[in-house]
C-alpha cells in the first residue's frame, strides 16, 4: 500500500506511457492496458515514482484518444474498466503512482454533449461549447487559427453558427465560461480518483478558456517565430495567441480542480502549450499552493538543443515569475520529435543530458523509450497515421516517429511488442537498442538511466532542495542543490573539453557511477559531455 503522502509528486520521476505503443497483450497490433500491466516491472526497475498513461477513453480515435467521446469508460481497443483496475492495483503494489491523461479543453464531435449542443440553440447543452455567429459576410467570427492548420472555426448548418476547435475540426472546444461544464469536468476527475488514480496529466491546460469577447489575435513578428509549439510550415506561428488561450479565468477553475484533488492526496501536471510565455504561465498556474502542483513548459521540448545558456535563462525567468513555481521538466513526449534526433545526440551526450535532468529542481517526465536512447523513427508517407503529419507532409512528418512501438527484444521483427503487425512499424535501427539488448550492459543508456534515477533517489536534496548559483560558462552548466546536504553539479553540454570551478569549501566527488570526474585544486576538467558531481563535506 502506498503511503498517503500529499507531497509525493514533488521531485517525482513520472514515466509516460503511450498505450497504443507500449505492449500488445491480445495480438491485434495495438497496445492495451493489460499489456502495460505486464510491463510495469520494467518501469519500477527503472526507478520511476509514477506513470502517466496517455488517453485510453472511448474515442473515435481521429486524434488517437485525444478526442474523447466518453470520459468515464475505457475504449474496447485498450480493454475494460476491470483491466484498468487491475493495472492500478499492480502499479500500487510495485510502489508506482498512476496518473492518467485528462483532455478537458475539448471533446470528440461524437460525444453526446456535443451532439446535443449542435442540435439547436435552445437545448440544455446549447452553451456547453464555444459557438459564435458569423460576420455579416458569412466568414468566421475572428482570425483565430487551429494548431493543426487553417481556421479554428468550423461552420455548422444546424445552428447556422461556427464552433471553435483549436485542433481537428472533430475536436470542438468546451465552453468553460459556462459553470455546468466546469461541474461536469470536475465530476469526471472525481470518477477516476474514486477508482484509485493518484493524479492527472492535464492536456493543453492553458487552452481551457477563450476570450469571451472573441477578439482577434495580433500578428507575431517574423523574428519571434523560430520557436513554437507548431512546425514552421504552419500558419499558426504567425499569431500571438493572446485571446484564443491563456485567459485569466483559468486560475479560478484550476483552484476548483485543486480542491477536488486535495482529499485524495492526488496531483496534477499541466501541459502549457505556449512558445512565448510558457515558463511564465507555468509559474502562474503552479504558484501559491492552490492551483495545480506542476506544469511542464516547452522550453526543453524545442527544436533548439538545450544549452547551458538556455538552461540558465529558463531558471532565471521562472524565478522572476514566481519563486515557488514547480516545473516538470521533459526532453521528449508523444507530441515532439525524440530528443536524441532533435538535438543530434550520441550515446554519451544522451547520458549527460539524463544526468543533468535528474539533478534539476522540479519533477521529471521520461517518455517511453527515452531510457533506451531511441531516435526518431523514420516513416514514409504511407506509414503515417497522424493527421497532423499527413496535413503538412513532407516538410513536417507529424508525431508518429515518436509513437512507434516500444522495443523489448532484438530477435523479433516487432521488438516483442506484438505477435501481429503493429499499428505503426518497428524500424530496424530500434531493434539493437531493445531492453533485452541493453539490460545489464554497464555502458548502455538504459543502465545509465537506472543509475541516474537511483542517484536522484539516494539524494533527496535533488528532489526537493533549493537550486542556487545557476551559471552558464561556455558549454558548462553549473549549480548547487541545497537542503539537508549540499551537492554541486557541473555538466559540459559540448563536444570540447571545458573547466568547471567548484565553490569554495571542501567537496567530495560523488556519482562515479554516472561518470563524475574528480576535481583538483577546486577545478574539474570536463571532457566532452563530462560531468562533475560533488558533495560538500
Cell numbers linked to 285? 498556474
Q: Which of 420, 455, 490 is the last residue of a domain?
A: 455
DSSP string, 450-516: HHHHHHHHH-THHHHSEEEEEEEETTEEEEEEESSSEEEEEEE-SSS-EEEEPPSS-EEE--GGGTB
Asked whether residue 351 falls in the same domain as residue 416, the answer is: yes
Asked whether residue 407 falls in the same domain as residue 532, the answer is: no
Asked whether residue 423 falls in the same domain as residue 494, the answer is: no
Asked whether residue 374 falls in the same domain as residue 410, the answer is: yes
CATH value at residue 473: 2.60.40.1180
Asked whether residue 369 falls in the same domain as residue 395, the answer is: yes
Is position 154 within any domain?
no
Is position 137 within any domain?
no
pLDDT of residue 228: 66
Asked whether residue 96 falls in the same domain as residue 239, the answer is: yes
For residues 506 and 535, give the distance between their C-alpha atoms in angstroms, rounded to a whole number: 8
pLDDT of residue 358: 98
Q: Which residues are catalytic?
A: 203, 271
Is position 121 within any domain?
no
Is position 134 within any domain?
no
- Return the axis-axis angle of helices 250-261 and 278-286, rounded to nearest 10°: 50
Is position 507 within any domain?
yes
Asked whether residue 230 falls in the same domain as residue 254, the answer is: yes
Q: Which of 455, 474, 505 is the last residue of a domain?
A: 455
Domain count, the chain: 2
Is position 155 within any domain?
no
For residues 369 and 15, give the distance between their C-alpha atoms in angstroms, rounded to a whole number: 10
pLDDT of residue 226: 67
Q: Which of 455, 479, 510 is the last residue of a domain?
A: 455
Is position 162 within any domain?
no
Query: pTM of the full predicted structure?
Result: 0.97
Asked whether residue 367 falls in the same domain as residue 510, the answer is: no
Q: Please report, for residues 69, 85, 407, the alpha-carbon distance to residue 375 in angstroms, rounded to integers and kept in the order given.
A: 33, 33, 12
Asked whether residue 437 falls in the same domain as residue 485, the answer is: no
Cell numbers linked to 210? 477563450
pLDDT of residue 227: 60
**Along the 537 residues of the chain, how does pLDDT read in single tens digits?**
688 999 999 999 999 999 999 999 999 999 999 999 999 999 999 999 999 999 999 999 999 999 999 999 999 999 999 999 999 999 999 999 999 999 999 999 999 999 999 999 999 999 999 999 999 999 999 999 999 999 999 999 999 999 999 999 999 999 999 999 999 999 999 999 999 999 999 999 999 999 999 999 999 998 888 666 788 889 999 999 999 999 999 999 999 999 999 999 999 999 999 988 999 999 999 999 999 999 998 889 999 999 999 999 999 999 999 999 999 999 999 999 999 999 999 999 999 999 999 999 999 999 999 999 999 999 999 999 999 999 999 999 999 999 999 999 999 999 999 999 999 999 999 999 999 999 999 999 999 999 999 999 999 999 999 999 999 999 999 999 999 999 999 999 999 999 999 999 999 999 999 999 999 999 999 999 999 999 999
pLDDT of residue 379: 98
Asked whether residue 383 falls in the same domain as residue 532, the answer is: no
CB within 8 A of 286, min separation 6: which ones?
270, 292, 293, 294, 295, 322, 325, 326, 327
Asked whether residue 315 falls in the same domain as residue 270, the answer is: yes
CATH value at residue 101: 3.20.20.80
Is position 348 within any domain?
yes
Asked whether residue 72 falls in the same domain as residue 190, the answer is: yes
Cell numbers linked to 213? 469577447
- Give the residue numbers spanning the domain of 497: 466-536
Amino acid at each position: 500500500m502506498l503511503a498517503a503522502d500529499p507531497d509525493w509528486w514533488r521531485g517525482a520521476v513520472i514515466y509516460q506511457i503511450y498505450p497504443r505503443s507500449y505492449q500488445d497483450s491480445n495480438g491485434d497490433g495495438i497496445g492495451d492496458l493489460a499489456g502495460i500491466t505486464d510491463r510495469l516491472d520494467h518501469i519500477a526497475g527503472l526507478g520511476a515514482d509514477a506513470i502517466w498513461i496517455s488517453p485510453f477513453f472511448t474515442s473515435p480515435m481521429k486524434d488517437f484518444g485525444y478526442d474523447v467521446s466518453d470520459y468515464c469508460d475505457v475504449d474496447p481497443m485498450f480493454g475494460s474498466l476491470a483491466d484498468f483496475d487491475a493495472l492500478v492495483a499492480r502499479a500500487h503494489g510495485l510502489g508506482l503512482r498512476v496518473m492518467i491523461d485528462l483532455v478537458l479543453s475539448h471533446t470528440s464531435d461524437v460525444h453526446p454533449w456535443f451532439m446535443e449542443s449542435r442540435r439547436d440553440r435552445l437545448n440544455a447543452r446549447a452553451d456547453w461549447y464555444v459557438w459564435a455567429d458569423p460576420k455579416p459576410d458569412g466568414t468566421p467570427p475572428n482570425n483565430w487559427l487551429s494548431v493543426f492548420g487553417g481556421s479554428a472555426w468550423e461552420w455548422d448548418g444546424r445552428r447556422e453558427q461556427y464552433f471553435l476547435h483549436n485542433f481537428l475540426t472533430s475536436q470542438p472546444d468546451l465552453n468553460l465560461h459556462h459553470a455546468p461544464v466546469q461541474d461536469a469536468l470536475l465530476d469526471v476527475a472525481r470518477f477516476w480518483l474514486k477508482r484509485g488514480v493518484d493524479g492527472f496529466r492535464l492536456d493543453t491546460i492553458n487552452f481551457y478558456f477563450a476570450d469571451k469577447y472573441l477578439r482577434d489575435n495580433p500578428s507575431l513578428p517574423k523574428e519571434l517565430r523560430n520557436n513554437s509549439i507548431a512546425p514552421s510550415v504552419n500558419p499558426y506561428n504567425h499569431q500571438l495567441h493572446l485571446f484564443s488561450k491563456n485567459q485569466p479565468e483559468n486560475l479560478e477553475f484550476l483552484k476548483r480542480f485543486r480542491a477536488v484533488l486535495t482529499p485524495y492526496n492526488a496531483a496534477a501536471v499541466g501541459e502549457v502549450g505556449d512558445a512565448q510565455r510558457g515558463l511564465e504561465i507555468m509559474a502562474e498556474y503552479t504558484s501559491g499552493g492552490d492551483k495545480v502542483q506542476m506544469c511542464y513548459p516547452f522550453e526543453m521540448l524545442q527544436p533548439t538543443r538545450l544549452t547551458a545558456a538556455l538552461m540558465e535563462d529558463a531558471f532565471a525567468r521562472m524565478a522572476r515569475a514566481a519563486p515557488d513555481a514547480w516545473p516538470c521538466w521533459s526532453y521528449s513526449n508523444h507530441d515532439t520529435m525524440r530528443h536524441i534526433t532533435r538535438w543530434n545526440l550520441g550515446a554519451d551526450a544522451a547520458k549527460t543530458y539524463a544526468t543533468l535532468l535528474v539533478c534539476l529542481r522540479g519533477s521529471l517526465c521520461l517518455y517511453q523509450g527515452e531510457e533506451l536512447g531511441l531516435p526518431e523513427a523514420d516513416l514514409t508517407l504511407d506509414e503515417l497515421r497522424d493527421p497532423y503529419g499527413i496535413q503538412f507532409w513532407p516538410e513536417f512528418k507529424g508525431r508518429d516517429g515518436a509513437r512507434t512501438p516500444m522495443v523489448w527484444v532484438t530477435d523479433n521483427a516487432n521488438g516483442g511488442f506484438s505477435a501481429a503487425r503493429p499499428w505503426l512499424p518497428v524500424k530496424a535501427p530500434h531493434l539493437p537498442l531493445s531492453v533485452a539488448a541493453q539490460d545489464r550492459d554497464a555502458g548502455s543508456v538504459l543502465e545509465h538511466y537506472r543509475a541516474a534515477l537511483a542517484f536522484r533517489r539516494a539524494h533527496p536534496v535533488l528532489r526537493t532542495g533549493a537550486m542556487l548559483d545557476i551559471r552558464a560558462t561556455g558549454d558548462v552548466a553549473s549549480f548547487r542543490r541545497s537542503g539537508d546536504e549540499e551537492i554541486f553539479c557541473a555538466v559540459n553540454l559540448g563536444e570540447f573539453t571545458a573547466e568547471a570551478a567548484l565553490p569554495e569549501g571542501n567537496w567530495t566527488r560523488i556519482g562515479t557511477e554516472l561518470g563524475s570526474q574528480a576535481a583538483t585544486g577546486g577545478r574539474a576538467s570536463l571532457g566532452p559531455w563530462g560531468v562533475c558531481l560533488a558533495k560538500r563535506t
